Chain A
Amino acid sequence: MVKLETATWGAIEVAEADIFQFPDGLYGMEEQTRFALVRPDEELPFAYLQSTTEPGICLLIADPFAFYRAYEFDLSESDVAKLDRLTPEQTAVWVTMTAGESLQDATVNLLAPLVFNTEKRIGRQVVLHDSTYPVKAPLMKEGK
């Protein structure tokens, strides 16, 4: 277990397996290159990406497939290479989420998902340039 300082939960312990290197950081946070995937409730399709060095940097993330079952994309060869020759079995996908007053106001960024190599523990925010997925897709599709 690894001890982390966080602004949200104070000092916490996370498993080594939940710590990921993000060699290129995240867009707008390029200097943050190491994050812990914190999932306080496995039943929920929500989790957090907590910086291991900056207690105040913690992004809300969502499981895109829980809300968009048909969500799919092709990774470019260079993204696959940067994720250390990612294979489907090693892949986990999360998307950043902007919470609102209600779930109906919440949005998820389907254009720039966070792709994880769970075996090599590398993460990367990729941009799906060939897709038409929006940066601010409603979390709940209309009428749901």
Chain B
Amino acid sequence: MLVLKRRIGEALIIGDDIEIVLLEKDGDTVKVGIEAPKSVRVYRKEIYEEIRAANRSALQATDLSRLRRQFLAQMKKGEN
């Protein structure tokens, strides 16, 4: 991993067409500007952690008959 220091207002170029500018610092957060071609997708890493966790929690065995009961009760409530 390359580690380097930059000041606010300075930038990094990655490859030929990706530019990362450090815009602002406020406490322990840093505002970053990213200029990249549309084909390069930029993601926040935590989103993937959240999706993995949601997939894991969908694994819990769920009794469909209980879900059916709850769902039908809900529908009935909606009609009234």
Contact = CB atoms under 8 A, between A and B. Distances in A.
Same complex: yes
A125 B54 CA distance: 12
Interface of B: 41, 43, 47-48, 50-62, 64, 67-68, 70-71, 74, 78
A98 B47 contact: no
Interface residues of A, number: 33
A26 to B, nearest CB: 5
A20 to B, nearest CB: 16
Contact of A59 (B41, B43, B58): B58
Contact of A127 (B47, B53, B70): B47
A44 B55 contact: no
Contacts, number: 80
* Top 10 A-B residue pairs of the complex, sorted by shortest distance between their CB atoms: A28-B52, A96-B58, A59-B58, A98-B57, A99-B62, A109-B54, A135-B50, A27-B51, A112-B51, A103-B70
Given A111-B47, A129-B43, A144-B78, A57 B59 contact: yes
Contact of B64 (A40, A107, A140): A40
Looking at chain B's contact residues, is the secondary structure mostly helix, strand, loop, or mixed?
Answer: helix
Contact of A112 (B41, B54, B61): B54
Given A60-B60, A111-B47, A129-B41, A96 B55 contact: yes
Interface string A104-137: 0001010110000000000001010100000110
A58 interface: yes
A136 B57 CA distance: 11
A116 to B, nearest CB: 16
